[in-house]
Chain A
Amino acid sequence: QVQLVQSGAEVRKPGASVKVSCKASGYTFTNHYMQWVRQAPGQGLEWMGIINPSGDRTNYAQKLQGRVTMTRDTSTSTVYMELTSLTSGDTAVYYCARDLGIAVAGWGLDSWGQGTLVTVSS
């Protein structure tokens, strides 16, 4: 079955960076777009960005442009999300998610990682 396993919780100081990983298994990794979604405490879901199956194209939410980088390693079936210049407003649970479509995006996110809590505090 499809599994997305994320790295563990992180604590960072303001101004620092964080890199979260998401290891996929149970399906053909190079067939699906991957996305990152975050959720601040008590708040709704916020789409962060998308990376294509081969990892050579990304598209980020405008408010995160310049601070977020998404990459993928097809040899290990792992996607990464790095966020820089952290502030307290970046404190959230970060999820990776698989797009349902085969080689296309926009079909909905049918599998999700367990979430990674990133806490930004001085």
Chain B
Amino acid sequence: SYVLAQPPSVSVAPGKTARITCGGNNIGSKTVHWYQQKPGQAPVLVIYYVTDRPSGIPERFSGSNSGNTATLTISRVEAGDEADYYCQVWDTSGHYVFGPGTKVTVL
């Protein structure tokens, strides 16, 4: 089955840019989605289909995907962005696959 890799943690100062990577074999050919999950809450979709934002998600959240790496970028990071972030792909087998998650800490 398809395997995704994410860094366990990313630290960023307020106002700076956080980049969270999601690695997978030829992931650039797949549709990638990103979720934010805060403690005790259900996940929230922040990016779908690589670059699209659901309504209500700030423009500070953006996505890209090429080659073997997809990236979620959070610009002008705020304290409220501190959370776990998961990438997800739709596999050709008709399954979703989640990455292991990245904990974003705002310094």
Contact = CB atoms under 8 A, between A and B. Distances in A.
Contacts of A107: 31, 33, 48-49, 90
B42 interface: yes
A62 interface: yes
Interface residues of A, number: 22
Interface residues of B, number: 25
A88 B9 CA distance: 28
Interface of B: 1, 31, 33, 35, 37, 42-45, 48-49, 54, 84, 86, 88, 90, 93-101
A114 B42 contact: yes
B42 A45 contact: no
A45 B48 contact: no
A35 interface: yes
A109 B94 contact: no
B101 A100 contact: no
Which of B45, B84, B97, B101 has its CB near the most chain A CB atoms (within 10 A)? Answer: B45
B95 A47 contact: yes
Interface of A: 35, 37, 44-47, 50, 59, 61-62, 95, 100, 105-110, 112-115
Contact of A45 (B1, B93, B101): B101
Nearest to A57: B94
B62 to A, nearest CB: 15
Given A62-B1, A106-B31, A109-B33, A46 B98 contact: yes
14 contacts: A37-B98, A44-B98, A45-B88, A47-B95, A95-B43, A100-B48, A105-B90, A106-B31, A107-B33, A109-B33, A109-B35, A109-B43, A109-B96, A112-B44
A115 to B, nearest CB: 6
A115 B33 CA distance: 20
B49 A59 contact: no
Nearest to A112: B42
Contact of B54 (A44, A46, A61, A110): A110
